[in-house]
Amino acid sequence: MAKKKQIELTIEEKLQNALVSKEEQPYKIPNNWCWTYFKDIFYIENGYAFKKIDYKKEGIPLVRISNIENGIVNINECIYVNKLEKNEEKYVIEKGDLLIALSGATTGKNGVYYLDEIAYLNQRIGNIKIKNKEKVLNEYRNYYIALKNEDILNLAYGGAQPNISPKVIEFISIPLPPIKEQQRIVNRIESLFAKLDRAKELIENTLAQFEQNKMAILHKAFTGELTVKWRKENNINEKNFFNKVKL
């Protein structure tokens, strides 16, 4: 008897099978969105266990946990390694990739790699890849994983040296809007973030001016400028009133 031909599911059917049950949905979302699991739209590529003996002063940049800073990957002070001969593609980081720390006190911190040159992925870091880019935008992924940073750290185990397995992250639930709405969400986030950055800049400038004004007031206080009017109103003879003494 001939085997039944395997039926290939459409993307929509696969996504339908990946939905989070109503009982497990964290909160209500718009009707045209759906709850799905991390594992059904993303996968994590683990880094390579480079040894210190492999470190070089030049070559291909090696991204370690310390290179993930404030939502981006910074390789200004990275180390380098030679080109790998086997399974190189698994450990290559490309522009737009999202990396996440899988161990240490900063487990869960993540950052986007924005550089054109390739780099290699070190161990204890995961590269979060999108399974189907027709369904999920890079930027939507980036912002949602940034939101879950603290939750991922809370899921980690190991006490003083937290660790998290990609298998644990796989079952994080994710609200998934249609692709066009994802783009609108990303645009709105970036617009609001730009306003926050501008507000922060204005506040920092104001604080800097505030500190300068404080010092100017103190200078005037101890040079007699603040009490000029008082001395005139009270007929104070400044020549006889002020005396220099040693502390």
Averaged pLDDT of the chain: 88
Which 3 state secondary structure label does DSSP give 192?
helix
Confidence check: pLDDT of 238 > 70: no
Cα 211 from Cα 69, distance rounded (Å) = 29
Cα 128 from Cα 170, distance rounded (Å) = 11
Q: Of 172, 159, 39, 155, which is closest to residue 108 (Cα–Cα)?
A: 155
The architecture in CATH of the region 11-177 reads: Alpha-Beta Complex (3.90)
Contact between 8 and 157 under an 8 Å Cβ cutoff? The reply is no
pTM: 0.78
Q: Is 149 exposed, middle or buried (0-12, 13-18, 19+ CB in 10 A)?
A: middle
Tens-digit pLDDT profile for residues 85-103 = 888 899 999 999 999 999 9
Confidence of residue 227 (pLDDT cuts 50, 70, 90): confident
Residue ranges per domain, the chain?
A: 11-177, 178-247
Q: Of 131, 133, 128, which is closest to residue 166 (Cα–Cα)?
A: 128
Backbone angles phi, psi at 225, to 5 degrees: -65, -35
- Please state, in angstroms and as integers, the Cα–Cα distance from residue 70 to each residue in 82, 130, 150, 186, 189, following that order: 28, 22, 14, 18, 17
Q: Which of 5-9, 35-39, 150-154 has the lowest mean pLDDT?
A: 5-9
Q: Of 214, 125, 166, 139, which is closest to residue 37 (Cα–Cα)?
A: 166
The proportion of the chain whose per-residue pLDDT surpasses 70, expressed as a percent, equals 89
Strand partners, 127: 45, 99
